[in-house]
Amino acid sequence: MYEVTHSGAWLPVSAWGDSEAWNRLIGWINNNCQNVGARLIITPKLTDQLNSPDGLRAFARDAARVDARGNGPGCRWEAGDGPIIVVWPEELTVQNCVRTVAGLPQQLIIVLEQAVLGAHSFQGWACAVGAYNAETGDHEHPNPDLDEQLDAILSSFENELMGPPRAGLLREKLHEVCVGGFDEDFVVTYAIALGYQGDVGRLRRHYSAARQN
């Protein structure tokens, strides 16, 4: 069964330059994380600079640091420690983080979006986990119907999702999701939040084909 097993927070790309949003996020982490001092920062590359804005600098201070492949100098962070903070998130990175925290309901994943080339929106992930939205100060909300649809699709069509898109029941089921008005980013990152560990590129291609029906 595919279901959310973690919680988290989300800084949308539109809030990157909002100092109040950063303050809200820091306050939320301090209030909700049992071990704020043991933070893990993940960026696409270790050379990515974390000295701006001030909110990001505060997160990065004395935190363990790795790149998207998990490489970093002397990382002492272990699953069950403080929050995982994913800066400029990539889908595979968040997918790996969800795997890491599976079965640890107190573990937080914090996704910090920024406008970089090729970036995807993680609003679907944020909705699925009921993430705290630092821009609004409110929590996002899961969609029970989408939960049920994706659980059925991901559970029943595992083999088909590994192959190329083709006409059939899988496409029909995905088209039913399309009718809800959800774009690819939303559906793929929602699936990641539910624990989907398959090829997200193939899932995108299947969903794109279903939208063209």
* Regions of the chain with pLDDT less than 50: none
Pair of tokens at residue 18: 């909002």
Show which of 116, 139, 162 is a domain's final residue. Answer: 139
Residue 154 tokens read as: 């991901």
H-type helices in 38-183, by residue range? 54-60, 91-101, 123-129, 144-156, 158-161, 169-178
Half-sphere exposure of 96 (CA within 13 A, CB side): 14
For position 74, what pLDDT does the model report?
Answer: 67
Per DSSP bridges, beta strands 64-67 and 40-43 are parallel
Pair (131, 152) in one structural domain = no
The answer to whether residues 12 and 60 belong to one domain is yes
Q: Structure tokens of 167?
A: 């006409």
pLDDT on residue 12 = 97
Single pTM value for the model: 0.95
Q: Say how many Å lie between the first and final Cα of the chain, rounded.
A: 28
63-87 confidence digits (pLDDT tens): 999 999 989 886 788 888 999 999 9
Do residues 53 and 127 share a domain? yes
Same domain flag for 15 and 86: yes
In a domain, 1, yes or no: no
CA pair distance 116, 139, nearest whole angstrom: 25
| CATH classification at residue 61 | 3.40.50
Q: Quote helix, strand, coil % in the chain, to nearest 5.
A: 45, 10, 45
- Answer yes or no: do 135 and 149 share one domain: no
Measured CA to CA, the distance from residue 4 to residue 130 in angstroms comes to 9
Domain endpoint, select from 139, 154, 188: 139
Residues 86, 96: contact at Cβ < 8 Å? no
Within a 10 A sphere around the Cβ of 63, how many other Cβ atoms? 19
Q: Is residue 186 within 8 Å of 123, Cβ to Cβ? A: yes
Orientation of helix 200-211 relative to helix 184-193, angle to 10°: 140
Query: What is the β-pairing status of strands 138-139 and 132-133?
Result: antiparallel
Per the structure, the complete domain to which residue 67 belongs is given by 7-139
The dihedral through the CA atoms of 165, 96, 34, 62 has a sign that is negative
**Count of structural domains, the chain:** 2
